[in-house]
């Protein structure tokens, strides 16, 4: 059963008043920002963690079969067959992307925009030239798409490159279909671009949609690709860093493992391994219920905005629990009213709703906010009602 948990005063960054104040100027705003859910993890995870804690000691762990549990999961959830030689158990997606970037020196990085900001931070921290690849945006439809002509132009620029692909896409919630992946792979193959496919949100693909792991397409097309997956978003266990990295190329896999060993980064903590193992083995039915619930939440938001708050346009997601709200009309209303306030502070202060600001995902997204709907319907509806009231209060 999907159950919301009250998280104030639980060492959650999402609920940290100082962090919320920094974000939107109101420490008491209700958080709809950081990408974790307010919904309880599967019982299987709780039981395994409680049993571990009840032992009353926390020594070095050894997990048998973590890689196999991941492989079985990917077969069950995505009908994708992997073997042990394709996979390395890893200490988190961002750490793994950073390591892989380190291992491919001198390559520029292509980043689809809007982008999860840590992608940009990693590329910058490694001194890489960044090529922004803006997604096309259809304001009428409220939909983001891949712009292949733009990718081809960027790919053809001088210099060797990596593509940081995000599939499904954060923040738009788009699930890329097989044809879109094939077209992306075709261009990358033509220009010898290595694809990093961050698929952290893939298990949360809605029941009405289908996720194709990039690995499958890359394998068929003989393109080098590294796929990053994790149970963290799936089962709401992101505080326990753990991921799995999948390789099409054995020598790259070897280099990755060696680097983790060299930097002493490869060890999985007792609690993260325990939670991951329990979720992969016993979390499937829970996840099926959750994805149906999240798709329902998305429909609820879409209906509310369409009928009651048409000044805010919903970017209909196809996966996960975050999406963009297009607030361009509200921004214009604020400007016309002579109010010198950005959207995140406006809704934070006037509606007590804390969301991520569009510019966090790149220049040019000042009209957008990212809304996290990984909570129960009542809290979503109450937040939307407060937003409606705030918008109605803008003098015309
Ligand atoms: C696209 C994407 N990649 C990576 C992460 C973080 O992954 P990790 O905590 O495993 O480093 C997030 C978290 O929001 C994310 O949305």
Q: What does the pLDDT look like over 42-76, one tens digit per residue?
A: 999 999 999 999 999 999 999 999 999 999 999 99
- Residue 170's pLDDT is 97
Neighbours of 350 (CB within 10 A): 19
Token couple for 245: 């990295």
For residue 94, the CA-to-ligand 1 centroid distance in Å is 6
Which atom of ligand 1 is nearest the CA belonging to 92? 10
Instruction: From the CA of 35, give the closest atom in ligand 1.
Output: 14
Q: What is the pLDDT of residues 357-391, one digit of tens each?
A: 999 999 999 999 999 999 999 999 999 999 999 99
pLDDT above 80 for 109: yes
Question: CB of 241 closer than 6 A to ligand 1?
Answer: yes
Q: Is 322 in the pocket of ligand 1 (CB under 6 A)?
A: no
Q: Which domains does the chain have, with CATH numbers?
A: 17-42+285-392 (3.90.1150.10), 59-282 (3.40.640.10)
Q: Are 218 and 249 in contact (CB under 8 A)?
A: no
Distance CA 130, CA 133 (A): 9
| 348 close to 25: Cβ distance less than 8 angstroms | yes
Whether 211 contacts 319, CB under 8 Å:
yes
Q: Do 380 and 57 contact (CB within 8 A), yes or no?
A: no
Q: Is the CB of 171 under 6 A from ligand 1?
A: no
Best mutation site among 70, 94, 114, 174 for ligand 1 pocket (most ligand atoms within 8 Å of CB): 94
Atom 1, ligand 1: which residue's CA is nearest? 170
User: What was the pLDDT predicted at 56?
Assistant: 97
CA-closest candidate to residue 146, choices 189, 192, 206, 186: 186
Q: Which of 63, 65, 98, 58 is nearest to 263 (CA)?
A: 98
Nearest CA to ligand 1 atom 14: 35
Q: From the CA of 292, how far away is ligand 1's center (Å)?
A: 22
- pLDDT tens digit string along 140-186? 999 999 999 999 999 999 999 999 999 999 999 999 999 999 999 99
State the average pLDDT over residues 295-321: 98
- Which secondary-structure segment (H or E) carries 133? strand 130-134
Residue 201's nearest CA partner among 374, 376, 326, 19 is 374
Q: 111-148 burial, b if ≥16 CB within 10 A, otherwise e? A: bbbbbbeebbebbeeeebebbbbbbebeeeebebebbb
With a 6 Å cutoff on the Cβ, whether 166 touches ligand 1 is yes
For the chain, give the percent of residues with pLDDT over 70.
100
Q: Please report the atom of ligand 1 found closest to the CA of residue 116.
A: 1
Phi and psi at residue 197, to the nearest 5°: -110, 110
Q: Which of 34, 35, 93, 115 to mutate to test the pocket of ligand 1 (most atoms within 8 A of CB)?
A: 93
Cα 224 to averaged position of ligand 1 atoms, centre (Å): 22
User: If DSSP codes are grouped into helix, strand and coil, which group holds residue 101?
Assistant: helix
d(CA 2, CA 40): 7
State the pLDDT at residue 210. Answer: 98
- The tokens for 140 are 């009428």
Contact yes or no for 116/97 (Cβ under 8 A): no
Residue 199 beta carbon below 6 angstroms from any ligand 1 atom:
no
Q: How far is the CA of 232 from the centre of ligand 1 (A)?
A: 8
Is 36's C-beta closer than 6 angstroms to any atom of ligand 1?
no
Query: 94 CB under 6 A from ligand 1?
Result: yes
Ligand 1 atom closest to 230 (CA): 10
Joined together, the tokens standing for residue 133 give 């690849």
CA 84/CA 97 separation, integer angstroms: 20
> Strand, coil or helix: what is 35?
coil
Which tens digit of pLDDT belongs to each residue from 321-352? 999 999 999 999 999 999 999 999 999 999 99
Q: Please state, in angstroms and as integers, the Cα–Cα distance from residue 373 to each residue in 4, 85, 255, following that order.
A: 12, 37, 39
**Among 7, 70, 15, which residue's Cα sits nearest to residue 40?**
7
Q: What is the pTM of this model?
A: 0.97
- Give, for ligand 1, the residue of 118, 202, 227, 322 to mutate: max count of ligand atoms closer than 8 Å to Cβ: 118
Tell me what pLDDT residue 1 has.
75
Q: Look-up: residue for tokens 């690709």?
A: 225
Q: Express each pLDDT in 251-302 by its tens digit.
A: 999 999 999 999 999 899 999 999 999 999 999 999 999 999 999 999 999 9
Is residue 320 lining ligand 1, measured as CB closer than 6 Å? no
Mean pLDDT of the chain: 97
Confidence of residue 236 (pLDDT cuts 50, 70, 90): very high
């Amino acid at each position: 059963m999907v159950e919301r948990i009250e998280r104030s005063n639980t060492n959650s960054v999402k609920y940290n008043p100082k962090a919320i104040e920094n974000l939107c100027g109101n420490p008491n705003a209700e958080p709809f920002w950081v990408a974790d859910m307010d919904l309880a993890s599967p019982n299987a995870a709780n039981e395994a963690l409680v049993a571990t804690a009840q032992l009353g000691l926390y020594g070095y762990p050894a997990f048998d079969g973590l890689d196999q549990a991941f492989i079985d999961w990917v077969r069950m959830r995505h009908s994708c067959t992997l073997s042990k030689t394709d996979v390395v158990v890893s200490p988190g997606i961002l750490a793994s992307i950073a390591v892989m970037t380190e291992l491919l020196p001198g390559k520029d990085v292509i980043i689809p925009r809007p982008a999860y900001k840590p992608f940009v931070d990693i590329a910058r921290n490694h001194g890489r030239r960044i090529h922004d690849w803006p997604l096309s945006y259809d304001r009428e439809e409220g939909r983001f798409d891949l712009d292949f002509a733009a990718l081809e132009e960027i790919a053809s620029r001088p210099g060797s490159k990596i593509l940081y692909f995000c599939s499904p896409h954060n923040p738009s919630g788009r699930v890329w279909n097989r044809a879109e992946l094939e077209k992306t792979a075709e261009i990358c193959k033509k220009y010898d671009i290595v694809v990093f496919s961050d698929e952290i949100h893939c298990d949360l693909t809605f029941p009405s949609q289908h996720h194709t792991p990039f690995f499958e397409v890359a394998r068929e097309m003989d393109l080098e690709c590294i796929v990053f997956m994790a149970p963290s978003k799936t089962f709401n266990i992101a505080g326990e860093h753990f991921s799995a990295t999948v390789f099409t190329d054995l020598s790259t896999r070897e280099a990755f493992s060696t680097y983790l060993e060299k930097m002493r980064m490869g060890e999985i903590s007792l609690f993260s391994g325990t939670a991951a193992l329990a979720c992969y083995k016993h979390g499937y039915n829970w996840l099926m219920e959750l994805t149906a619930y999240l798709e329902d939440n998305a429909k609820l938001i879409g209906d509310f905005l369409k009928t009651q708050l048409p000044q805010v346009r919903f970017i209909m997601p196809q996966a996960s629990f975050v999406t963009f709200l297009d607030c361009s009309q509200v921004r214009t209303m604020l400007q016309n009213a002579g109010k010198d306030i950005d959207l995140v502070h406006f809704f934070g202060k006037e509606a007590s709703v804390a969301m991520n600001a569009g510019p966090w995902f790149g220049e040019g997204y000042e009209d957008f906010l990212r809304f996290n709907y990984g909570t129960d319907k009542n809290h979503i509806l109450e937040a939307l009602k407060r937003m409606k009231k705030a918008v109605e209060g803008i003098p015309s």
